[in-house]
Amino acid sequence: MNKRKVRAFALGILFSVSLIGTYYYYFQIGNESISKAKQTLEDKGFIVLSQSEYTKLQKQLHRKSEAEQNQETAKNVKKSIHTENDNIQASDSDAEENNVISYELKITSGMNTEQIATILSNVRIIEDAEDFEEYLSENGYSTRIQLGTFHLTNKMDYSQIAKILTKS
Q: Rounded to an integer, what distance in angstroms lies between the CA atom of residue 161 and that of residue 95? A: 19
pLDDT in tens, 26-84: 876 656 677 888 888 889 998 888 888 888 888 888 888 887 877 777 777 666 666 66
Residue 126 lies in a domain: yes
Q: Is residue 160, in this structure, part of any structural domain at all?
A: yes
Residue 148's DSSP bridge partners are 107
Range of the domain at 110: 80-166
Separation of alpha carbons 83 and 88, rounded Å: 9
Residue 62 within any structural domain of the chain: no
Q: Are 141 and 162 in contact (CB under 8 A)?
A: yes
Residue 157 inside a domain? The answer is yes
Residues 42 and 104: their CA atoms lie apart, in Å, by 58
CATH of the domain at 96: 3.30.1490.480
pLDDT of residue 89: 59
Q: Please tell me the predicted confidence (pLDDT) of residue 30.
A: 58
Amino acid 4: pLDDT: 93
> At residue 150, what are phi and psi to the nearest 5 degrees?
-125, 135
Q: How far apart are the first and last CA of the chain?
A: 88
Q: Has residue 44 been placed in a domain? A: no
Domain assignment of residue 143, yes or no:
yes
Tell me if 63 is assigned to some domain.
no
User: Does residue 137 belong to any structural domain of this protein?
Assistant: yes
Residue 95: predicted pLDDT: 45
pLDDT at 111: 87
pLDDT value of residue 82: 64
| Alpha-helix residue ranges (DSSP H) falling in 99-139 | 113-122, 129-138
Number of domains in the chain: 1
